[in-house]
Structure 1
Amino acid sequence: MKTKSEKMKQTKRMYQAVMASLVFALCLTSCQKETATTGEDQEAVINQEADFTTKYFLGTEVKVRLEDDGTYSLAGSDLRLFENQLSDSSTDFNENPNPEEGLTNLGLAGGVRKWTGSTVVYTIQGLSASVQSELQKSFDEWTSKTNVRFKQRTNESNYVTISSSGSNSNSGVATLGMNGSNGFIRLGTRATAVVIIHEIGHTLGYIHEQNRSDRDNYIIINEQNIQNDAIDQFYKSNSATLVTSQFDINSTMMYGSYTFSKNGQPTITDLNGNVLSQRQAKVSDLDISGTNSIYPAVDGGDPDVPAVDSCDGVSAWSSAGRYAVGDRVTYAGDLYERDFTRWTFIKTCN
């Protein structure tokens, strides 16, 4: 028969074993959750009960949700679109309008526009000191490696408002391209440069990398693991302007392997089934070269004055042409520059 002291020791050992098992289980659950929601993935939690509407973006069918602020989120993601960036029919989008149509009759009236003078004008509202520090790191990453510049607003009519979303998370949402005074980036109270650099990419006019039409040559999309109402986030766009010359698995605009996972299993892997490296707080080499082709260095002090405005040597627009952002053409005696979804008038040729 065990003594009272031996019984107490046995009870203590059993208690310690139970507590150790409980701690292990909690740690395992926490680690699994962290794997699926770290950094870039915390913004990708959607409301499965939300109502989605079918629209067309750049001629491709997508599902969007109308948000309280009047913008539309693609399947509830971090990318926000304005109504004039969407249409009700694929035929409303003309991939190669002539410059005159691009100014007056483009189906996507507002379209996607890049920032003039390679300069993002911004104003800040309600960010904590820690998030402002991460924002500055993000600015520095873009400006140290690309031609993009950031300028705090004085009286400019085109600017983006960077504010707190109030969400206690490392998350963000952003509108696409330059949108007059309506553009915004909204950041969670624990937002880091990993997320903010990505959201700035949306502000510059970039969609997600996994939406490229050539993505199946580089990655596997595991639809069986994707949240039911998020399948649309993995659509392929044949008409979107490609920022990089080839698919870039390391792009800041690339989703992580567990983004929109419904079961803790990867939604994206490489062609060998391996999960992707976690997104870092930096832009990739292809992000850099692609951005610099779209946003050229600006000469002189006025960001609204193009560095080169000569018509000499510029070819006439052709209906058979395939134009990239930044390309210039002449049309009906005028010089135009290609934006994401339309042409911008530069000057009348002499």
Structure 2
Amino acid sequence: MKSFLKALMALLVVTSFYACKKDIETTDPLQNDAISSIKKGDSTIHKLVVDGRTNHVVEVNGTYYYADDIILSKEQFNTLKKLTSSLSTQERATIAQDFSATWPGATVYYQYPDITTMTAAQHSSFVATINSAFNNLTNATGIRFVERTTQPEYIRFVKSGGNNSPLGWRKNTVNTVNLYNYNMVGIVMHEVMHSLGVMHEQCRPDRDLYVIVDISKVTAGNENNYNIFPTYAGHGPFDFQSVMLYSSGDFAKDRTQPPMTKLDGTTFSGQRASISAGDIAGLKSLYFPADVNGIYRITPVYVSTKSLDIYGGNPADGTRLIIWPSHSNNNQKFVFRKDVHGYYQIKSLLDTNKVLTVRDAATASGTIVEFRTSANAENQKFKLYNRGNEGFSFAPKHAPGLRMEVSGGGTANSTNIVVGTSNTTSQAQRFNLTRF
């Protein structure tokens, strides 16, 4: 898996997709020249250039395939379109940050397939496979799967002619997971992981450090299986054992010319037997970034010898948060307490009645983050965005376009921790969590 985040597979396309109709290429007049569309039969291939990378989305009858088995909502597709535009850093971060959301409370509701759509034997096999997939994922990660009663958001399983899933959780939305291989546990886990918000391993932003992808060797219309979404985060090293990885020869024009190889030119095979250790670590990081029973050091990714520190070890209201050489005293020990979906209060062991707070609930870049008695206020709650190997970014609930950062990207002792305009390329806004 990885990444989450982390976290694209092949489209079952009817023959008419490649029918001998004239291709028509258009641009979107409401956007820019970074968007173009090619009509092929009854389908449309959209090309969207985001941060210099081309993303392909195949639209079939109003359904948007970000990969062969990943379905985007109309809202997610429009998010990609917006990201092709000349947006400010804050606008870009605000638009992209919830492209693929996790399930609240790490609890996934589901509904078994309708028995009237298949034989009793097929239904029994399907249900047993779903249960095995859920048990494997829960035992490995702690993510819970609960049969739905009245919840509006849930996974609905359907026996179908192909395998696919929506990407991530969305409010008031049913995730319909279609399965042809309904009796294969590994494939069910793969599709469920898409619904959990995980993309394919070959779509990590750092994939070119591990594999060579040659899009020219991919059959026309299947380029979307090698997209790299700009905010997708890889967790740990590239995982050749991941259940989310494709094989070298998938979607090849010529099986002797695989589209994807290792850097030395050798090929590899994807597996659908079980989730890997890397998949497990990625899911845990995505859904449980901080254990409520854990005590953590918070370290800027670019200055690993220093950590966030309560200035002077002073538990008084208004005490500044700074960076200081790493040590084991309580002023560098923090605990995370869950609030609403994705948000945490961050407490210090100096005084667990006090939490990290954006001073005066200000929304201006450069506002100091301080230590203050909890009032359960929105400027005292932070959402953790998992950047995989790039650490976490912290967004205050009262101002989601801001991020906690080391002031000026400094390295000097006593440099203040402040909030600044969200910038996904800024290392000063990324932090690693290390458990004591």
Q: TM-score, normalised by structure 1?
A: 0.67
Higher helix share: 1
The yes-or-no answer on 1:139 pairing with 2:134 is yes
The yes-or-no answer on 1:274 pairing with 2:266 is yes
Q: Given the alignment, which residue of 144, 148, 151 partners 1:149?
A: 144
Q: Given the alignment, which residue of 185, 198, 202 partners 1:206?
A: 198
Greater RCO (Cα-Cα under 8 Å, separation 6 or more): 1
Q: State how far apart, in whole Å, the 2-side matches of 1:252 and 1:95 are.
A: 36
CA offset digits 1:253-293 (Å, max 9, x no partner)? 11122221222233222223332134132111111111111
Q: State how far apart, in whole Å, the 2-side matches of 1:226 and 1:46 are.
A: 15
Q: State how far apart, in whole Å, the 1-side matches of 2:48 and 2:76 are.
A: 9
The yes-or-no answer on 1:172 pairing with 2:163 is yes
Worse-superposed segment, 120-129 or 199-208: 120-129
Question: CA 1:92/1:206 → structure 2, altered by over 3 Å: closer, same or farther?
Answer: farther
Would you say the 8 A contact 2:344–2:383 is kept in 1? no
CA offset digits 1:2-41 (Å, max 9, x no partner)? xxxxxxxxxxxxxxxxxxxxxxxxxxxxxxxxxxxxxxx9
Q: Offset of 1:305 from its aligned partner?
A: 6.2
Give the match for residue 390 of structure 2: none
Q: Given the alignment, which residue of 105, 112, 125 partners 2:113?
A: 125
Give the match for residue 33 of structure 1: none
Unaligned runs of 5+ in 1: 1-40, 321-329
Q: Offset of 1:190 from its aligned partner?
A: 4.9
Give the match for residue 225 of structure 2: 233
Question: CA 1:340/1:154 → structure 2, altered by over 3 Å: closer, same or farther?
Answer: farther
Q: State how far apart, in whole Å, the 1-side matches of 2:206 and 2:183 are.
A: 31
Give the match for residue 254 of structure 1: 245
Q: State how far apart, in whole Å, the 1-side matches of 2:206 and 2:82 are.
A: 24
Q: Given the alignment, which residue of 80, 83, 86 partners 1:90?
A: 83
Q: Offset of 1:221 from its aligned partner?
A: 1.9
Give the match for residue 23 of structure 2: none
Q: State how far apart, in whole Å, the 2-side matches of 1:93 and 1:251 are.
A: 35
Q: State how far apart, in whole Å, the 1-side matches of 2:195 and 2:147 are.
A: 15
The yes-or-no answer on 1:62 pairing with 2:49 is no
Q: State how far apart, in whole Å, the 1-side matches of 2:357 and 2:87 are.
A: 21
Give the match for residue 333 of structure 1: 379
Unaligned runs of 5+ in 2: 1-7, 19-39, 116-122, 294-337, 349-355, 367-375, 388-393, 399-436
Which SS does the other structure have where 1:272 is aligned? coil
Would you say the 8 A contact 1:64–1:74 is kept in 2? yes
Q: State how far apart, in whole Å, the 1-side matches of 2:278 and 2:74 are.
A: 30
Would you say the 8 A contact 2:378–2:396 is kept in 1? no
Would you say the 8 A contact 1:197–1:281 is kept in 2? no
Q: Given the alignment, which residue of 282, 285, 296 partners 1:293?
A: 285
Q: Offset of 1:204 from its aligned partner?
A: 0.9
Q: State how far apart, in whole Å, the 1-side matches of 2:109 and 2:127 are.
A: 16
Which SS does the other structure have where 2:95 is aligned? coil
Q: State how far apart, in whole Å, the 1-side matches of 2:240 and 2:218 are.
A: 19
Q: State how far apart, in whole Å, the 2-side matches of 1:310 and 1:277 are.
A: 43
Across the aligned residues of Structure 1 and Structure 2, the Cα RMSD in angstroms comes to 3.9
Question: CA 1:163/1:304 → structure 2, altered by over 3 Å: closer, same or farther?
Answer: farther
Question: CA 1:163/1:259 → structure 2, altered by over 3 Å: closer, same or farther?
Answer: same
Q: Which one has the largest radius of gyration? A: 1
Q: State how far apart, in whole Å, the 2-side matches of 1:93 and 1:241 are.
A: 22
